[in-house]
Structure formats: structure tokens, C-alpha cells
Amino acid sequence: MALIVKTALADQIIDVLRARIVAGDLAADAPIRQDALAAEFGISKIPLREALARLERDGLVVSERNRGYVVRPLTAAEAYDVFDLRLKIEPDAVAAAATCLGPADVEAGRDALAALGAAAAAHDGRAGALNRAFHMALIRPGGRPVTQQMAERLHTISERYVVRHLAPAGRADRALVEHAALFEAWSRGDAARAGTLSSAHIAATLADLRAEFERAGTAP
């Protein structure tokens, strides 16, 4: 049973529900049982509804008439859209950030990379969230608040697709190599190479997902 502290209640509920959605513990396209969750957390439905409304804005759940909130299913169309947008935004943002790094920025990126590597090696369910944290650590020093907000939203939506992408054998190892090379170029301030590696990394993930959806016969 998840324990919820009474401070920043909605934020804590969001963290718990997001982790369950990314891990697949809350089934896609099935109604979210608010009564059961409220009883589990020991809360009223008010903060729970606030959390679900924010998760809907993040693109993880959707409110349907006569069904309430349901987890949005993974779709090829959404995956293509999200990763295409990441390709348009992220490489330039990473390259721009690489030109204005301080020691604290490099250390934060290194720590995020290490945490992601440890989680991926252990097949930890937090790998999706830690992948987001690593990529955002490479964008944040650029000081572009609107770009950061857009990138964070895209990463929030793409987390479940990242977890799906990493599931086949060998994918996590390849991702670790790509992340390490990206971090090395970025931490040296090599903006051109960092941007190129960021683009290649996102494109490779999208290509793998596209192939999976095509094999499953669910590609648009």
C-alpha cells in the first residue's frame, strides 16, 4: 500500500499514479477506480481528482463520459508525433545548453546519467523517469523556460514508450552507450556533436518503435 503524506498531497499522488501508469500497473483504457485509490491512500476524492486532472493535462489519462478517467492507451500515432516533436526541439536545445555549462550543470548531468545507468542495469521501473531526468539535465542549462516546459511535457508523454522501447534484450545496453557519448560531447561544450548525437539517439528510438508497431500491425 502506498503511503501518502498530507503535505503537497496532489503532487505526491501524481508521482505515485505516474509511476504506476509508466510501469503498466494501471491498465490502459480501463477505468481508474477512484474509490479504491482514495481508500488506499486514505484521502478524500478531492486531491485525487486534482491529481487526475493534472495527469490528463500531461497526456497520461483521459476523462470519458460515463467512464471517468482512464489511462490513455499507447498508440503508434502518438509515439510518432511525440518523437517527431522531440526531434524538432531537443537537439537544438541540447546544443544550445552545451555552450553555457558551469561545473554544477556538468555534475548534475553526470549524476543523472549514473542514476539512469544503474536503474537500466537493474531493470528498475524508474528507468523511464530517470531517462527523462537525464535528458532534461542536458536541456536545462540553456535557460530557455518555454523550451524546457515543452520538452518536459514531451518527455512525460514519451516515458511509457521509452520503457516499451527498452524492454527487448540489448536495447538498454545500446541506450547506455548512446547516452554516455551524448553526455561526453555535451559536457565538453561540443555543441555541434551534442546536437547530432541527440538527434541520432531520438531517431533510433523512433525507428525501433515504428518497427515494433509495424510488426504488431498497429502502425497507422
Cell output for 90: 531537443
Mean pLDDT, residues 199-220 taken together: 88
Beta-bridge partners for 191: none
Q: Is the pLDDT of residue 114 over 90?
A: yes
Task: Tell me how many degrees the CA angle 67-70-75 measures, rounded to the nearest 5.
Answer: 130
CA distances, 105 to each of 13, 117, 196 (Å): 29, 18, 20
CATH 1.20.120.530 applies to domain 76-215: yes
Place of cell 531537443: 90
Domain boundaries, the chain: 9-71, 76-215
Q: How confident is the model at residue 220 (pLDDT cuts 50, 70, 90)?
A: low
d(CA 194, CA 79): 23
Q: Which of residues 170 and 146 earns the better pLDDT score?
A: 146
pLDDT of residue 13: 85
Identity at 220, one-letter amino acid code:
P
Q: Answer whether 206's CB lies under 8 Å from 85's CB.
A: no
SS3 (DSSP) at 63: strand
Mean pLDDT, residues 183-193 taken together: 98
CA distances, 28 to each of 9, 146, 184 (Å): 24, 30, 37
pLDDT tens-digit series, residues 2-53: 544 444 777 888 888 888 888 788 888 888 888 988 898 888 888 888 889 9
Q: What is the pTM of this model?
A: 0.83
pLDDT of residue 6: 47
**Under CATH, to which class is 9-71 assigned?**
mainly alpha
pLDDT of residue 97: 98
